[in-house]
């Protein structure tokens, strides 16, 4: 879902309508098959040759039925982009539902930076999930609705948390990354409690969005 933003860009630049259509098809299939009744998402779906769903699996989360926090943030961001590009309100509604799952989750810490999986409170955090969600929520807040102010305020809380210890590293440390305490693939024993480049990217994007919203 994150990559569709690039596909929409390619569609505009090339004039290839098929790239736009592929984005919509992918988003529709993901909405239909990846999401649970509580609006959390599976990480991996296995499709058969005719498009049938063969299995719903975990890869980077804690278990098949758990909610990997960065995956939820990717979905929130992706469906916000889908609404921006298509103006189809089903995508806006779905983005809001994902936001509600994240922000109302009983295992979301008070500083709004998630644990690596929502089923694993007390374990490692994922600053990248917080940064992605903050950027998405700021955009989502611009589309109105009864919870727009909540999305904005919670995004600001996320940014405030990321902008100080323990998430913001001291200058010159942390291999010169801005943020620390992200989790890539815990079950694979890979990138556990480390800086990740996309954490910094979406943190900076969120800061720019915050700045733009407050300098109009």
Domain range list for the chain:
4-213
For the question of whether the overall pTM of this predicted structure is more than 0.85, the answer is: yes
CA distance 79 to 67: 17
- Section 169-181 average pLDDT: 96
Please calculate the CA angle 68-158-65 and round it to the nearest 5 degrees.
Answer: 15
Q: Across all residues in the chain, what is the average pLDDT? A: 97
CA distance 117 to 123: 9
Asked if the bond preceding 166 is cis, omega within 30° of 0, the reply is yes
Check residue 206 and give its pLDDT: 98
Check residue 94 and give its pLDDT: 98
Tell whether the model's pLDDT for residue 216 goes beyond 80: no
Burial 149-174 (b: 16+ CB within 10 A, else e): eebbebbbbbbebbeeeebbbeeeeb
Q: Compute CA distances 190 → 167, 168, 181, 193, whole Å.
A: 19, 21, 13, 9
CATH (residue range 4-213): 1.50.10.10
pLDDT confidence bin for 150, thresholds 50/70/90: very high
Query: Which tens digit of pLDDT belongs to each residue from 67-113?
Result: 999 999 999 999 999 999 999 999 999 999 999 999 999 999 999 99
Check residue 80 and give its pLDDT: 98
Q: Quick one: tokens of 34?
A: 């990846």
């Amino acid at each position: 879902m994150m990559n569709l933003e690039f596909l929409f860009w390619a569609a505009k630049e090339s004039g290839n309508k098929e790239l736009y259509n592929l984005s919509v098809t992918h988003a529709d299939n993901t909405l239909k098959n990846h999401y649970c009744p509580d609006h959390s998402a599976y990480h991996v779906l296995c499709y058969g040759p005719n498009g049938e769903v063969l299995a719903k699996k975990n890869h980077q989360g804690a278990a098949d039925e758990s909610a990997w926090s960065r995956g939820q943030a990717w979905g929130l961001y992706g469906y916000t982009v889908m609404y921006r590009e298509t103006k189809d309100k089903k995508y806006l509604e779905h983005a809001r539902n994902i936001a509600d799952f994240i922000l109302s989750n009983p295992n979301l810490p008070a500083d709004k930076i998630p644990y690596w999986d929502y089923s694993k409170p007390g374990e490692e955090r994922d600053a990248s999930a917080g940064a992605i969600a903050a950027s998405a929520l700021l955009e989502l807040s611009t589309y109105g609705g009864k919870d727009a102010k909540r999305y904005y305020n919670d995004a600001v809380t996320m940014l405030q948390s990321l902008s100080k210890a323990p998430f913001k590293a001291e200058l010159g440390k942390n291999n010169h990354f801005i943020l620390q305490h992200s989790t890539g693939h815990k079950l694979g024993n890979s990138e556990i409690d480390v800086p990740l480049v996309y954490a910094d990217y979406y943190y900076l994007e969120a800061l720019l969005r915050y700045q733009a919203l407050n300098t109009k």
